[in-house]
Chain A
Amino acid sequence: MAERTVDARGSFCPGPLMELIANMKSMQVGDTLELLSTDAGSAKDVPEWVHKVGHEMVDTNQDSEGTFHIRVRKAK
């Protein structure tokens, strides 16, 4: 299973969730993606989309510099 990181820090447009969705399309089922985001909204809107589509949230952490690390697994 592959892992990839998408660095969406400082992204207003297209924005972290759009980056995540675009990358998920080219991943294989079971692959994991770590999204780096400085947008506090990502911690809420990424899980909302992931649950709606049926992928899996792995975990969410915020580092000492304020960056959110959101890990998602492609499930379908």
Chain B
Amino acid sequence: MNGVHDMGGMDGFGKVDPEPNEPMFHEEWESRVLAMVRAMGAAGAFNIDTSRFYRETLPPHVYLSSSYYKKWFLGLEEMLIEKGYLTREEVADGHAMKPGKALKHGKFDLANVERVMVRGKFARPAPASAKFNIGDRVRARNIHPTTHTRLPRYVRGHVGVVELNHGCHVFPDSAAMELGENPQWLYTVVFEGRDLWGADGDPTLKVSIDAFEPYLDPA
């Protein structure tokens, strides 16, 4: 979706503000949100793509004015309500009113903690051979899906070169909508900065994205 989350190349957000010796969390609640998101994801309430989609669909003014963990919290709460894991009444009351719904991987307890400390596996067996080879010129499709996609706007319509092939991976566009994993070949595609940003752009700049095969056409 063409949401405000798709920020690459936008102007007006100001300077980067490095914070010397920043704490790991600025508020204790941030750590609880982090842990709840990891735990409920590991318990099977949602996948990583769905959780990203819920954050992206926050109203633009909410997205832009909320801190990182606030976005996580708002996305989590809405996602769990919509998926039937809790109700708006329970959220308003602050307590459970009826028993929980079964989780795909069961309750998240201490025995599950080490599991979330390792990144998930997203590689899948290939359903077909790869359409592109390293060195191929490809054009990022000019697509504007209203649902989740990982093709950023700033590369759409531009030609780049396939640099790496990562194998077949879960396709976020499908997984986010719970339409299945639909594995697709994944490539690193590199673009010339001036192709993306025009003649005034940095002549030395190259920018790459990781692009799933359905995002690309031969060029």
Are A and B subunits of one complex? Answer: no
**Residues of chain B at the chain A interface (Cβ within 8 Å):** none
A residues whose Cβ falls under 8 Å from a Cβ of B: none
